[in-house]
């Protein structure tokens, strides 16, 4: 009797396991590694919206897992490997600092496909992807110059890395098409995320005469300060109009969803290949929030600029580009700076009075 019981139990367990195994094998498992909490309202938040778009698109065909608050560097290697061992076949690692760990884990798991955001190291099973956020900044520069009464823009920057510097330059190039004498005051917060400090920086910029606030830090603090002081501002990463209904002009939003859907589809179809994807307005990886709190002519100009960039008629880094030192920058892309020059940008354009920290 006892033996029969054991046998029956084993049989039930085995069927259960095989059933479970079968359903798990049918589903494609997709993993995500996040730098911050999904509630940061900025960078990680937008990646998670992308993940949710994937679920909405593919429903039962896939299963997603995410690990949040994964610090960059060696620690992340364990987390990435954990996802690979748990059977995820496609893994997105969503911060620059995961570059080396992703590369290492990718070598160890040749049958798993990896995608690393904002990095530049690729492998047979490791793609990279990022956004041309400078395209949005160029439009913001045009709007800012149109809307500014004082002619002084306030810019809260995070760290002097090429992505941030190209954003400042694109803003100024856009602004100079409207007002050649426009000035920008830049405050380096030396952090991506510290709402209190970002708010303090916004206050300092406004107190020093800036009437348009733009930021390359992640929280809506600066937007809220601008709203409180009756100034205008641009959002960052995500829609921030809730924090400044009368202040937000637009926001350069990171829209990862379409890319994630495209890549998951490729994985499902068996057509996934290692690539380098750098998407902007055209591929809708960069999306502008609705143009608000501005007169119709400015709105029209902004939309025309957006359309021109989307169609490829307008290049934010169109040659000739003159550096801060008054010398013309070499034009490697023919009519505009090439991607390498933008990705490695470490100079200010003419019209910016300040110096890049540490230079």
Partner 1 sequence: MGLIEAIILAVLAASTPLLLAATGELVTERAGVLNLGVEGMMIVGAACGFGGAWLSGSIIVGALCGIVAGVLMSLIFALMTLGLAVNQVATGLALTILGIGLSGLIGSRFVGEKISLAPHLYVPGLTDIPLIGRILFGEDAFVYLSLALVIGVWFFLYKTRAGLILRAAGDNHASAHALGYPVLRIRMFAVMFGGACAGLAGAYLPLAYTPFFIPGMTAGRGWIALALVVFASWLPGRLVIGAYLFGAVTILQLHAQGWGVGVPSQLMSALPYLATVIVLVLISRARTGGSTAPAALGTVFVPDR
3-state secondary structure 32-63: EECCCCCCCCCHHHHHHHHHHHHHHHHHHHEE
What CA–CA distance (Å, rounded) separates 121 from 99?
Answer: 7
Pairing type for strands 286-288 and 248-254 reads antiparallel
Nearest to 260 by CA among 51, 29, 45, 83: 51
Nearest to 175 by CA among 234, 130, 223, 220: 234
What CA–CA distance (Å, rounded) separates 280 from 338?
Answer: 15
Residue 10 vs 69, nearer CB to partner 1: 69
Q: With CB under 8 A as the rule, give the number of residues binding partner 1.
A: 40
Residue of the chain from 205, 226, 289, 302 that contacts partner 1 (CB under 8 A): 205
Q: Tally the C-alpha atoms within 13 A of residue 253's C-alpha that lie toward its C-beta.
A: 23
- Is 81 in a helix, a strand, or coil? helix
Residue of the chain from 176, 191, 262, 324 that contacts partner 1 (CB under 8 A): 191
Minimum separation from the CB atom of position 62 to partner 1 (A): 24
Residue of the chain from 196, 270, 326, 334 that contacts partner 1 (CB under 8 A): 196
Sites for partner 1 among residues 231-270 (CB under 8 A): 242-243
Tell me: does residue 219 bind partner 1 (CB under 8 A). yes
* Angle between the N-to-C axes of helices 133-147 and 296-310, in degrees from 0 to 180, rounded to the nearest 10: 160
> Quick one: 87 exposed, middle or buried, by C-beta within 10 A (0-12, 13-18, 19+)?
middle
Sites for partner 1 among residues 330-359 (CB under 8 A): 353-355, 357-358
Residue 116 vs 203, nearer CB to partner 1: 203
CB atoms within 10 A of CB 143: 28
Residue of the chain from 87, 97, 151, 195 that contacts partner 1 (CB under 8 A): 195
Tell me: does residue 171 bind partner 1 (CB under 8 A). no
Sites for partner 1 among residues 69-128 (CB under 8 A): 69
- Write the interaction track for partner 1 spanning residues 136-155; mark x where CB under 8 A is met and - where it is not: ------------------x-
Beta carbons of 129 and 99 less than 8 angstroms apart: no
Tell me: does residue 228 bind partner 1 (CB under 8 A). yes
Tell me: does residue 230 bind partner 1 (CB under 8 A). no
Residue 330 vs 353, nearer CB to partner 1: 353
Residue 53 vs 222, nearer CB to partner 1: 222
Residue of the chain from 63, 194, 267, 339 that contacts partner 1 (CB under 8 A): 194
Question: Is the Cα dihedral 19, 88, 264, 306 positive or negative?
Answer: positive
Binding-site ranges for partner 1 (CB under 8 A): 36-37, 39-41, 69, 154, 185-188, 190-191, 193-201, 203-205, 207-208, 210, 219-221, 224, 228, 242-243, 353-355, 357-358
């Amino acid at each position: 009797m006892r033996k029969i019981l054991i046998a029956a139990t084993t049989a039930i367990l085995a069927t259960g396991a095989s059933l479970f195994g079968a359903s798990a094998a049918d589903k494609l498992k997709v993993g995500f590694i996040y730098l911050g909490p999904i509630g940061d309202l900025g960078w990680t938040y937008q990646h998670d919206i992308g993940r949710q778009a994937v679920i909405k698109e593919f429903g039962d065909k896939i299963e997603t897992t995410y690990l949040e608050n994964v610090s960059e560097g060696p620690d992340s290697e364990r987390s990435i490997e954990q996802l690979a061992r748990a059977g995820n076949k496609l893994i997105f690692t969503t911060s620059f600092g995961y570059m080396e760990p992703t590369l290492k884990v990718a070598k160890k798991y040749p049958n798993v496909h990896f995608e690393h955001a904002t990095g530049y190291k690729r492998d047979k099973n490791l793609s990279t992807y990022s956004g041309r956020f400078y395209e949005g900044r160029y439009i913001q520069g045009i709007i800012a110059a149109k809307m500014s009464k004082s002619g002084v823009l306030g810019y809260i920057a995070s760290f002097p890395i090429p992505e941030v510097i190209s954003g400042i330059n694109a803003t100024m190039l856009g602004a100079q098409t409207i007002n050649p004498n426009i000035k920008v005051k830049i405050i380096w917060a030396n952090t991506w995320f510290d709402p209190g400090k970002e708010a303090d920086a916004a206050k300092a910029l406004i107190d020093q005469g800036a009437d348009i606030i733009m930021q390359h830090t992640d929280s809506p603090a600066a937007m809220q300060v601008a709203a409180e002081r009756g100034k205008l501002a641009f959002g960052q990463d995500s829609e921030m109009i809730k924090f400044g209904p009368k202040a937000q002009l637009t926001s350069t939003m990171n829209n990862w969803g379409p890319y994630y859907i495209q890549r998951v589809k490729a994985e499902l179809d068996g057509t996934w290949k290692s690539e380098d994807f750098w998407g902007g307005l055209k591929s809708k990886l960069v999306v502008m929030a609705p143009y608000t709190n501005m007169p119709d002519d400015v709105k029209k100009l902004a939309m025309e600029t957006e359309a021109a960039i989307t169609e490829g008629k307008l290049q934010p880094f169109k040659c000739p580009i003159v550096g801060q030192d008054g010398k013309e920058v070499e034009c490697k892309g023919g009519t505009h700076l090439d991607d390498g020059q933008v990705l490695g940008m470490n100079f200010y354009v003419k019209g910016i009075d300040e110096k890049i920290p540490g230079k």
